Amino acid sequence: MKNALMIILVFTLLFLTTVPSETEVTPSISAENAVVLDMDTNEIIFEKNANQQKNIASITKIMTAIVALEQEEIKDRVLISRNAAMKEGSSIYTKPGDIYTLEDLIYGLMLRSGNDAATAIAEHVGGSVKGFAFLMNQKATWIGMNNSSFQNPHGLDEENHYSTAYDMALLTSYAMSTNSDFRKIFGTKKHLPENINYYWFNKNKMLMTNDYCTGGKTGFTKSAGRTLVTTAERNGEQIVVVTLNASSDWQDHRTLYDYGFKALEDQSDPIDEEILDFPQFIESYFDVIHRMHGVRQWSI
């Protein structure tokens, strides 16, 4: 009986001291630069060249949106200039002399990536594109985006217009946590403007196809490649994922969702609490062993 009890205790000791561990596999992604950020703590869960300064294309518009929302009333009326209406690239097809609400322009900015909307917002809020860029850089400094410089509100290639995967994740976390209008627009699948008779649908494929995605912004230029920022939530945990120059960005974000949420689950694994009680188990274990051999109780 004594030998059987000792065997049980020994095997129990071995079980508790040998914590099963999974080999952490670095996720395979196409992105040249990437980061996964815990939105609740702003701690990095995963990074790949996250602080390298790069062209970022239309994910620039995340900064445009939050600056506009913080500076002006969302129901302001905005007159579309010829400069805005003629802006090259993606568009919501404004015309000179049109009047939109700032709210509709921000929806057009974020869902359809309208460069005309970005320019109209900049002219309305900052007085000019360069005046608005000054506000963008002020906000970047305040947030702590130490490797970013903004020269325009739309993300078309321009000298000294750049950011990093980490800085864009930090910006997105800030905007999502501080501004309810931003959160709503960022996660909207479709929007009907007041002076247009058709819906604008979000270009963010993740929002349409992934149950965890809560918002995002796409981007592309030849120099930047495909850029993408998305947010996701699962079981109360929230993350920001940013990829730059990623040929398979949708799959990258699915992969990084799985990696990020698994990492957060592992951090809160209840077995950690059992390990904390390990010294108490050792004391009880040796107490039993010595009682079996007639030795008085002792402690370690």
- Measured between alpha carbons, how far is residue 101 from residues 107, 231, 232 in Å? 10, 26, 29
Residues 6+ apart with CB under 8 A from 39: 173, 176, 177, 231, 238, 239, 240
The catalytic residue among 61, 87, 139, 203 is 61
Eight-state DSSP code of residue 299 = -
* Tokens 């062993």 sit on residue: 289
- State the catalytic residue, choosing from 48, 58, 139, 163: 58
Q: For residue 31, give the nearest of 50, 59, 12, 14 by alpha carbon.
A: 50
Who contacts 80 (Cβ-Cβ below 8 Å, separation ≥6)? 94, 95, 96, 97, 98, 99, 100, 116, 120
Task: Examine the residue annotation and report whether 299 is marked as an active-site residue of this protein.
Answer: no
113 is a catalytic site residue: yes
**Distances in whole angstroms, Cα of residue 78 to Cα of each of 53, 68, 139, 253:** 33, 12, 22, 35
Which residues share a beta bridge with 79? 99
Q: What is the DSSP letter of 244?
A: E
Q: Where are the alpha helices (DSSP H) in the chain?
A: 2-17, 61-71, 82-85, 102-111, 115-126, 129-143, 165-178, 180-186, 205-209, 249-267, 271-276, 278-292
Cα–Cα distance for residue pair 99/122, rounded to 1 Å: 15
Please pick, among 81, 113, 148, 173, the residue that the annotation labels catalytic.
113
Per the annotation, the verdict on 61 as an active-site residue is yes
> 97 and 79 in contact (C-beta within 8 Å)?
yes
Q: Is residue 203 part of an annotated ligand binding site?
A: no
- Bind-site residues: 217
Residue positions forming the annotated binding site for substrate: 217
User: Which residues are catalytic, by number?
Assistant: 58, 61, 113
